[in-house]
Amino acid sequence: MRGVYIEWLKSRRTKSFSIVTLLMIVATLWSIAMFMSAFSHPELKNVGTLFSNQNVNLLMLPIAVSVFVSRIVSNEREGQTFKLQATNGLGLMTIFRHKFLFTMVFFFVMSFAEIVAICCFGKQSGISIPMDIVGVQFLGQLLSIFALVTIYLTLAMVLEKQGVLLA
């Protein structure tokens, strides 16, 4: 937990949250705008609100994860703090684990906030979304975040050029 807390302090100092939070807000607003199509199609009023081909998370989530991961790794790579941490006894796998846990916790909170906002808007609009559907959506989103973080963080730690990661 101490390593995750240190990662949080470093990310807060470098303002790594701002762009990713903006991307996730856009994704949430897009999902809320998608509700308008649920009003005209009664068969979409339950499952279709969270599972739809109009969902922008397929586009925004990989972008948000890659931007966030590249920002938390590039700052340390530029400052050559990996070498400093290695002299203090922290191996590359320990650094990877701290960054991985921190990124997962951050996107867990962002995904939870997004789904709560969508559910609240749905309730306010008269669309009833069963909790098991919400759970499946949340679990699916966490699994995709797990895969994306694993891939992007590994590439960010290995590759020298962070632009390749963003591409």
For residue 85, pLDDT over 60 is answered with yes
For residue 167, pLDDT over 60 is answered with yes
The confidence score (pLDDT) of residue 31 equals 72
Please answer whether residues 111 and 138 qualify as being in contact, where contact means their C-beta atoms are separated by less than 8 angstroms. yes
pTM for this predicted structure: 0.75
Residues 94-105 have a mean pLDDT of 86
Number of domains in the chain: 1
Domain range enclosing 57: 2-166
Amino acid of residue 91: G
Question: Pick from 114, 98, 108, 107: which is nearest to 68 by CA?
Answer: 107
Distance CA 12, CA 16 (A): 7
Task: Categorize the per-residue pLDDT at 124 as very low, low, confident or very high, splitting at 50, 70 and 90.
Answer: confident
Residues 36-50 have a mean pLDDT of 59
CA distances from 111 to 25, 74, 126, 150, 156 (A): 10, 24, 22, 17, 22
**Residue 113, both tokens:** 């906030």
